Amino acid sequence: MESKDVDESFAAAKEKAKAQVDEWGDLGRPSSKLPAPGESLLVEDDDYFLPRLRELGIDNFPDVTILPRNFKSAPSLDRLAFERETSDLRVLGRQAGVEVAPLVEKRAEIHENDIATIGAVIVIAKAVLETVNSVATLVEFFGRLGKFLGEKQEEASRGERIEIVQEVIVTNGIKATRVTYRGSAADLGTVVETLKREADALDG
Amino acid sequence: MAEKSISKPRELLQLIIEDWTEIRKFTTCSWAKQQQFEMLTMYERLCSEIDAAIAGARERGGGDEASEWRAGQTLLKSVVCELQMWLALKESDAWSAWHSFCDAEQYAVNARRWLPQSFEPAKDQVEHLRLVERIAFPYPAFFTSIAVLVGREVCTICESEYGTCAHLAGELYDGEMCARRCEEIKEALHLALVRNPSDKRLRLREPGGIDPPPRAESRPKKPRRAKSKRKRRR
């Protein structure tokens, strides 16, 4: 292969990589700020989830779903990614009694051989937080998710337990609130209390 | 170390606790090669016996018992791989040693996950291997990581599409670990250099660092002494 051919292949590869980054976006998780040092929760109004949903032409979304990493940057609905951890979250949900459904049907799943250290963004409809039973199953779900993420973290850090970050969006379809948790994996279940409070405040 | 017969998973855990001080003593660079090899052989044999015990438990419908056997066996496998690592280092085979280390670490992490949290040997093995890595394989390495679009992958426990059943990858079910088996790759996206790979075997070799794996064609040939002697005679 001549050096000119190498340069051209390199340039083509760079272009392809750039196009991919533009389409998939940066890893974008978490896409908002983190809780202040010493705090475990950050609650803020979410101003992009619902408008972006409409932009993509999604009228109905599942009660509990997961945002693909390229939710902000995908040019169209059919280019939304299907995250590898979506399948794990569906299994965890099934084990706890929560129906976790993907935002889009699976066409292909993005796999990376690096260890993900940040959980995917979860979206929960307000209605799910309105019954005692649902709240109880959500506590169970987040407890299992915490254990799962904790083990992933432990695997990534080879035995060292470090903090996890988990973002959750609560919405009533008109307004949305984003809750970002940063803390020990074992305590992730406690986030449900905040979700419930924020869900109640959405109508106010 | 005396060989003992065990018939229950709890007895296996008890045996590991009793042997742990000795295991720690043997899994060092300074211990005699012959004794390390003997321990390795003994634990390999024990691991085979545990495989039979797992099969027996599953036949009897004892799924939990099979999982308990597997958890204990996984810790022993970590010890076996670590012993292989020390033996390879003594043979100046750094590449095999690194691979054995990676296996030992993965087994240790799994054992820690599957055994009770209070089971100290599993915790100790994970921490010990972290120190071994710093001392025996120093300097932070880069690893390769691939990103691909996967079309279909199945659960290795029930063979249904992963995510549609109740099995979670990495968990034990009746003594078998659930995994995601990729059946179709739609597109290769990129190759990245990362610090935290899911597979440490994908380590980049630094020049002058870990020796490359031996390849038949590149192995140095033994000098042919007889020929050179003949030359000298001439």
What range does the domain containing A114 cover?
Answer: 39-202
Specify if A186 maps to a domain. Answer: yes
Specify if A16 maps to a domain. Answer: no
Q: A67-81, A101-115, B177-191, B192-206: lowest mean pLDDT where?
A: A101-115
Residues of A in contact with B126 (CB under 8 A): 158-159
To the nearest whole angstrom, how far is the Cα of A111 from the nearest Cα of chain B? Answer: 5
Range ranked top by mean pLDDT from A159-163, A187-191, B39-43, B150-154: B39-43
Task: Using a CB–CB cutoff of 8 Å, tell me whether B64 touches chain A.
Answer: no
Contact predicate B90/B52, CB 8 Å: no
Residue B98's pLDDT is what? 93
Instruction: Choose among B156, B143, B15, B140: nearest CA to B79.
Output: B15
The band of B230, judged by pLDDT with boundaries at 50, 70 and 90, is very low
Residue A16's pLDDT is what? 66
CA distances, B172 to each of A63, A89, A96, B63, B68 (Å):
30, 17, 18, 10, 9
Specify if A28 maps to a domain. Answer: no
In this predicted model, what pLDDT tens digit does every residue of A103-134 receive, in sequence order?
877 666 666 655 554 567 899 999 999 888 88
Domain boundaries, chain B: 9-136, 149-205
d(CA A76, CA A55): 9
Tokens of A1: 């292969």
Task: Using a CB–CB cutoff of 8 Å, tell me whether A5 touches chain B.
Answer: no
Residues of A in contact with B182 (CB under 8 A): 111
In this predicted model, what pLDDT tens digit does every residue of B8-30 receive, in sequence order?
999 999 999 999 999 999 999 99
Do residue A112 and residue B146 have CB atoms under 8 angstroms apart? yes
Buried b (16+ CB within 10 A) or exposed e, B89-107: beeebbebbbbbbbbbbbb
Specify if A104 maps to a domain. Answer: yes
Specify if A14 maps to a domain. Answer: no
Task: Using a CB–CB cutoff of 8 Å, tell me whether B126 touches chain A.
Answer: yes
For chain A, how many structural domains are there in total? 1
The answer to whether the predicted template modeling score (pTM) of the entire model surpasses 0.90 is: no
Specify if A13 maps to a domain. Answer: no
To the nearest whole angstrom, how far is the Cα of A160 from the nearest Cα of chain B? Answer: 9
d(CA B187, CA B117): 40
In this predicted model, what pLDDT tens digit does every residue of B134-165 receive, in sequence order?
899 887 778 888 878 888 889 999 999 998 89
Task: Using a CB–CB cutoff of 8 Å, tell me whether A111 touches chain B.
Answer: yes
d(CA B96, CA B45): 21
Phi, psi of B7 (to 5 degrees): -125, -5
Instruction: Choose among B206, B199, B207: nearest CA to B99.
Output: B199
Task: Please give the sequence-ordered ranges of beta strands (E in DSSP) within chain A, or none if there are none.
Answer: 41-45, 64-67, 82-83, 109-112, 121-125, 164-171, 176-183
Instruction: Choose among B206, B109, B164, B143: nearest CA to A112.
Output: B143
Q: In what order do the strands lie in the sheet with A64-67?
A: A41-45, A176-183, A164-171, A121-125, A64-67
Specify if A121 maps to a domain. Answer: yes
End-to-end CA distance of chain B: 59
The band of A33, judged by pLDDT with boundaries at 50, 70 and 90, is confident
The band of B232, judged by pLDDT with boundaries at 50, 70 and 90, is very low
Residues of A in contact with B167 (CB under 8 A): 91
